[in-house]
Amino acid sequence: MKNQRGASTLGILIAVLFFGSLITLAIKLGPIYLDDITIQEAIESLDKTEDLGQLRPTDVRSLIRKRLSVNNVDNFDEKQIEIKKDGEMVLINLEYEVRTDLFQNVDAVVHFNHAYEMRGQ
């Protein structure tokens, strides 16, 4: 009687499908998370802006738009950014979702929600 050694064809096929699925998810979802990190950094960098509390919400939105353009974030609608002023404080709320095709009729939806309070310098 022979003892079986190594993985079976079915075992290898399942492993290839599993790791292939993980790689597909990383390729499809990775850029979405990188864009979100870039958006967060662009908004957080506003805190270093001089006289931020004196700017109107439209001016703050324009600053955000310029920073996102420089960082090549194109598929983001800045209308999803809610900007309010409370005296010298600027309150920024950002809630958005990104949809991407995984394969055929299967989509992935990623939801982001960030809130910031800043004064500037």
Structural domain includes residue 19: no
Q: Which amino acid is at 45?
A: S
Identify the pLDDT of residue 121: 66
Structural domain includes residue 15: no
d(CA 78, CA 67): 11
Structural domain includes residue 3: no
pLDDT above 90: residue 76: no
Structural domain includes residue 78: yes
Structural domain includes residue 110: yes
Rounded mean pLDDT, 43-64: 89
Structural domain includes residue 105: yes
Structural domain includes residue 21: no
- Answer whether 93's CB lies under 8 Å from 100's CB: no
Range of the domain at 73: 30-118
If one counts the domains in the chain, the total is 1
Identify the pLDDT of residue 77: 86
pTM assigned to the model: 0.82
Structural domain includes residue 57: yes
H-assigned helices in the chain:
9-44, 57-70
d(CA 61, CA 83): 8
